[in-house]
Structures are given as structure tokens and as C-alpha cells.
Amino acid sequence: NAGVTQTPKFQVLKTGQSMTLQCAQDMNHNSMYWYRQDPGMGLRLIYYSASEGTTDKGEVPNGYNVSRLNKREFSLRLESAAPSQTSVYFCASSPVRGVVGNTIYFGEGSWLTVV
Amino acid sequence: DQQVKQNSPSLSVQEGRISILNCDYTNSMFDYFLWYKKYPAEGPTFLISISSIKDKNEDGRFTVFLNKSAKHLSLHIVPSQPGDSAVYFCAASSSGGGADGLTFGKGTHLIIQP
């Protein structure tokens, strides 16, 4: 049972390069999310998609774009990477949005370093 | 402004004893609270949750207590085991919409000593 799968697991980028983090879930969840985790900062929401065809900004969206390709897949793109985007990125999904009892399930993380 | 606060970055507890992790929140709209556990190099995994209509929820060795008037919740682990050593995140959500997903605290690193 794969759950939430994200690729790549590790990536080193040069400043100004672009890249896309891929995420797929096999739980038939409606909502998907991208978080970043920085030391001492907890998890912060970058973008989310409440359902297929919709995306919305979270707490820290600057420098990122997202695409909800279909119900299963939600990608995160860095158009021009900056050292401040060095972080661990987590994709997550949940059955529904904004409902009491909603539990979010996370992928294993993608470690991104921008030099 | 942090809406979910975990004021203890780390906590050390002896094996077999009780671990108590604390969390405070400021947003009155939060009505669902969760605890996640995270091992190094892995994603957070759901541990236990509580709705604001309850003040206690128990699952095996894990119990979460909610004090709505104080905007405070705590996670109790009894007895603590070596495998409990991890970072624990408190998270909260509101069913009324707004910024979606969960709002997380910064985490508490629990270390269980043998």
C-alpha cells in the first residue's frame, strides 16, 4: 500500500535552476497539499488543492507554482530556485477539505538543496 | 504570529515513565487537533486526534487531553518506550474554511532514555 509517493527524494540545484517535485497518492483522496519543513519552523503550507482542478495558496507560496494534474497527482514547481528554498518538502493528501475529523497523510519527503 | 505553539523544543524522559508533551493555540476557530510523530528522514505519521467536543481521547499508550478554556492540549505517553523517541508535532484545523490544511507547531523532540 504505497499511500503518498513523492519524487525525487534528494536533489541539489544551482541558484536560478528550475525543477518540479512530483507527488502521487493512491488513496482516492480529494485534497492534496505541499508543505515545507525548515529547522525550528515546523511544517508550513505552501499550496493546496481542495479538489481536482483547483489550487490555492497557503502560508508560504512565493517562488512556487503547483499543478493538480488529475485526482492522483499534485506537482510543485520551482521556476528559479533560490538558496532560501533549501528545505525538506512534504506532499500530503486527505479525504476531504475543511471537515472536522480530517486527517492528512504525508509522503516521505524530498530533500532539496539550492547552492 | 504563531497560532499553534509547542514551547518545549525537546524533552527527555526515562523509559517506563510518563511523557507529557504540551501544545497551546490561539485561534478560537480551531475545532480539531492532531498529534503527528516524525522519525528522521521520514514523513510525519498520524498518531492521535481529538475533536473540540471532547476533552479526552485515548488510544493504547497515548492519550490526548484538551482544555478549550485554556486553549491547551497535551499528549501523554504511558509507559514511554525507546521507539517513542521522535519529533512530535501538534496540529490544528478549523472546519470553517480559511487557509486549508493543518496549522502545525514547531515540534518537540522527545528522547526516551534507557
How confident is the model over B59-98, as pLDDT tens digits? 999 999 999 999 999 999 999 999 999 999 999 988 654 4
Helix (H, G, I), strand (E, B) or coil at A83: helix
For residues A102 and A96, is the Cβ–Cβ distance under 8 A? yes
CA B87-B92-B98 angle, to 5 degrees, is 135
Q: How far apart are CA B31 and CA B26, in angstroms?
A: 12
* Shortest alpha-carbon distance between residue B15 and chain A (Å): 26
Nearest Cα residue to A23 out of A99, A87, A77 = A77
Report the pLDDT value the prediction gives residue B66, as an integer from 0 to 100. 97
Report the pLDDT value the prediction gives residue A98, as an integer from 0 to 100. 55
Q: How far apart are CA A68 and CA A31, in angstroms?
A: 10
Q: Pick the residue from chain B with its C-alpha nearest to A103.
A: B46
Cell match 535552476: residue?
A17
Report the pLDDT value the prediction gives residue A101, as an integer from 0 to 100. 61
Peptide bond into A8 cis (omega under 30): yes
Contact B43 A4 (CB under 8 A): yes
Q: Pick the residue from chain B with its C-alpha nearest to A101.
A: B32
* Shortest alpha-carbon distance between residue A110 and chain B (Å): 9
For residue A26, give the DSSP letter.
S
**DSSP per residue, A37-66:** EETTTEEEEEEEESSTT--EE-S--TTEEE
Please report residues of A whose CB lies closer than 8 A to that of B106. 40-42
The mean pLDDT of A47-59, rounded to a whole number, is 91
What sign does the CA torsion over A104, A4, A32, B3 have? positive
Confidence label for B41 from pLDDT (cuts 50, 70 and 90): confident
Cell match 472546519: residue?
B95
Residue A100 vs residue B10, higher pLDDT: B10
Residue B46 is nearest to which of A48, A103, A108, comparing CB atoms? A103
Q: Which of B27, B100, B106, B108 to mutate to test the interface with A (most CBs of A within 10 A)?
A: B100
The mean pLDDT of B18-28, rounded to a whole number, is 96
Contact B101 A48 (CB under 8 A): yes
A75 has pLDDT over 90: yes
Nearest Cα residue to B68 out of B37, B21, B15, B31 = B31
A96 has pLDDT over 80: no
* B40 at A interface, C-beta within 8 A: no
Report the pLDDT value the prediction gives residue A100, as an integer from 0 to 100. 56
Please report residues of B whose CB lies closer than 8 A to that of A48. 100-101
Q: Pick the residue from chain B with its C-alpha nearest to A9.
A: B41
Q: Which residues, in sequence order, are bridge partners of residue B88?
A: B37, B108
Q: Pick the residue from chain A with its C-alpha nearest to B90.
A: A42
